Structure 1
Amino acid sequence: MTVPIRDESIRLGQFLKLANMIDSGAEAKMVIADGEVTVNGEVELRRGRQLRVGDIVTVGGVSVTVATE
């Protein structure tokens, strides 16, 4: 699955909401802090991590690729 973004990059917490992988910013903070989110196969603990086109975000076994609009 791919989710398009408008700009060159997007923060991880914002992308999780945009992709409907989580419901709120508070939930994003929790799943990231708990080590449940990977970016390009590596656990990511920074909610502000900048994602770019082509990055693959995985939560709970569901992977989404950042795409261009």
Structure 2
Amino acid sequence: MREVREVEIRDGMIRLGQLLKLAGVAEDGAHAKDLLEAGEVAVNGEVEHRRGRQIHPGDTIQAATTHLKVTTPTP
């Protein structure tokens, strides 16, 4: 079974490129761009190529062998 890491965001939205950096999947913006252009990132099961794609709590991201779920902090 694959492990899903939760990534908390404070605002209601984060851009995909920023999320990849925040989660440690990409070292920097250029690396995030390379991953996306290579088709190695999927959002909610759909391959995504846009770094600026808006990601919201509840979305799931798969990048290579890393699986992420976006959450918000619990009050």
| TM-score interval for Structure 1 and Structure 2 normalised by the shorter chain | over 0.9
Shift of 1:61: 2.1
2:36 alignment counterpart: 32
- RMSD in angstroms over aligned alpha carbons? 0.6
* Unaligned 5+ runs, structure 1: none
Q: Does 2:46 align with 1:58? A: no
Whole-angstrom distance in 1 between the partners of 2:49 and 2:38: 8
**What TM-score, normalized to structure 2?**
0.89
* Residues 1:22 and 2:26 are matched in the alignment: yes
Q: Which amino acid aligns with 2:70?
A: V
SS of the equivalent of 2:42 reads: strand
Higher Cα Rg, which structure: 2
Q: For structure 2, which runs of at least 5 residues remain unmatched after alignment? A: none
Which residue type is aligned with residue 6 of structure 2?
T
- The alpha-carbon deviation at position 22 of structure 1 amounts to 1.1
Secondary structure of the residue aligned to 1:3 is strand
Q: Give the aligned partner of residue 46 of structure 1.
A: 50
Aligned to 1:8: 12
Percent identity over paired residues: 51
SS in structure 2 at match of 1:21: coil
| TM-score normalised to structure 1 length | 0.96
